[in-house]
Amino acid sequence: MISSHPQAAIVIENLNHFYGQGNLRKQVLFDISLQIQTGEIVIMTGPSGSGKTTLLSLIGCLRSAQTGSLQILGQELCGASNSQLVAARRRIGYIFQAHNLLESLTAQQNVQLPLELHGIPFKQTQKQAAEMLSAVGLAAQVNDYPENLSGGQQQRVAIARALVSRPAIVLADEPTAALDKQSGRDVVELMQHLAKEQSCTILLVTHDNRILDIADRLVQMEDGYLLSNIQELAA
Ligand code: ADP
Ligand code: MG
């Protein structure tokens, strides 16, 4: 399906979301509308429980949208089939609070993984993973296992893994939550730099006020509602 918004990477209109069935059915997202342009970096803030992770998981095609409209890269995903969701996920990079690296794989093997899933030949996955790790300042750590890396280094491996397949969209859920001030800053500046280089769209959820200035635009969630689009506040 072709989008009527050719410049927008993400177009959400009147999206609602419910958890549970029957008596336990509970609405957690209310009438969300949001557009994010290609190449834009948007930061989403809001209290715990306000629906940020739920919204991110819908945009990331990690759960399926129920009512309203959700267009990702020009494709309608509300009511999409499982195979359509799987295909859409291939164009998205994910960075979570806990880095979710595989402990039994080296830094380089962790970064190679998404490329292998894309069916890229092994030699080439090695080369691209090494280049991406070098871009995040970890050229000397390619053969280290996660347990031998600092928290900041682990999160940089996670960023390399999210960006190595050059996704059109990167979704990050509290990526600096487990990091000290300087590592947190380094990590988001790196994301910003790499994203601008690859002209990729970023939506980042955070409680961390110290990183808001990397955004082109801030949006805020409260009690399941998107409160505001605060334009250029970071400028
Ligand atoms: P945030 O990321 O802003 O903290 P969440 O999206 O995680 O918010 O949660 C929004 C609301 O949905 C909360 O009330 C939470 O308890 C509820 N919720 C989150 N995940 C589930 C789930 N899998 N099943 C039922 N309720 C959930
Ligand atoms: Mg959350």
Residues contacting ligand 1 via CB (< 6 Å) = 19-20, 28, 46, 48-54
Asked if residue 118 is part of any domain, the answer here is no
Asked if residue 193 is part of any domain, the answer here is no
d(CA 99, CA 156): 9
Q: What is the mean pLDDT of the chain?
A: 90
**Tens of pLDDT, residues 184-207:** 888 889 889 888 888 899 999 998
Tell the residue nearest (CA) to atom 26 of ligand 1. 19
Indicate whether 235 pLDDT > 80: no
Counting residues of the chain whose pLDDT is more than 70, the rounded percentage is 94
Measured from the Cα of 57, ligand 1's closest atom is 6
What is the CATH number for 80? 3.40.50.300
Asked if residue 119 is part of any domain, the answer here is no
Q: Is 119 exposed, middle or buried (0-12, 13-18, 19+ CB in 10 A)?
A: exposed
Question: Global pTM?
Answer: 0.88
Measured from the Cα of 173, ligand 1's closest atom is 2
Residue 50, φ and ψ in degrees, nearest 5: -85, -10
Output the pLDDT for position 167: 92
Q: Higher pLDDT residue, 33 or 186?
A: 33
Asked if residue 20 is part of any domain, the answer here is yes
**Tens of pLDDT, residues 163-185:** 898 899 999 999 888 788 888 88
Asked if residue 9 is part of any domain, the answer here is yes
For ligand 2, the distance from its centroid to the CA atom of residue 49, given in whole angstroms, is: 7
**Tens of pLDDT, residues 117-157:** 888 999 999 999 999 999 889 999 999 999 999 988 998 99
Tell the residue nearest (CA) to atom 5 of ligand 1. 51
pLDDT mean over 25-29: 96
Indicate whether 2 pLDDT > 60: no
Q: Are strands 67-72 and 41-45 parallel, antiparallel or unpaired?
A: unpaired
| Domain limits for position 87 | 1-91+203-235
Asked if residue 21 is part of any domain, the answer here is yes
d(CA 19, CA 27): 6
Asked if residue 120 is part of any domain, the answer here is no
Indicate whether 231 pLDDT > 70: no
Mutate to test the pocket of ligand 1, among 18, 52, 54, 66 (most ligand atoms within 8 A of CB): 54
Indicate whether 233 pLDDT > 70: no
Phi-psi domain of 229 (left: phi exceeds 0; alpha: psi -120 through 50; beta: other): beta
Q: Higher pLDDT residue, 235 or 17?
A: 17
31-50: b (≥16 Cβ within 10 Å) or e: ebebbbeebbbbbbbbeeeb
**Tens of pLDDT, residues 86-111:** 999 989 999 987 778 999 999 999 99
In 3D space, the residue among 97, 90, 84 whose CA is nearest the CA of residue 164 turns out to be: 90
Asked if residue 229 is part of any domain, the answer here is yes
Residue 174, φ and ψ in degrees, nearest 5: 50, 55
As for how many domains the chain has, the answer is 1
Output the pLDDT for position 190: 84
pLDDT band at 83 (very low <50, low <70, confident <90, very high): very high
Measured from the Cα of 19, ligand 1's closest atom is 25
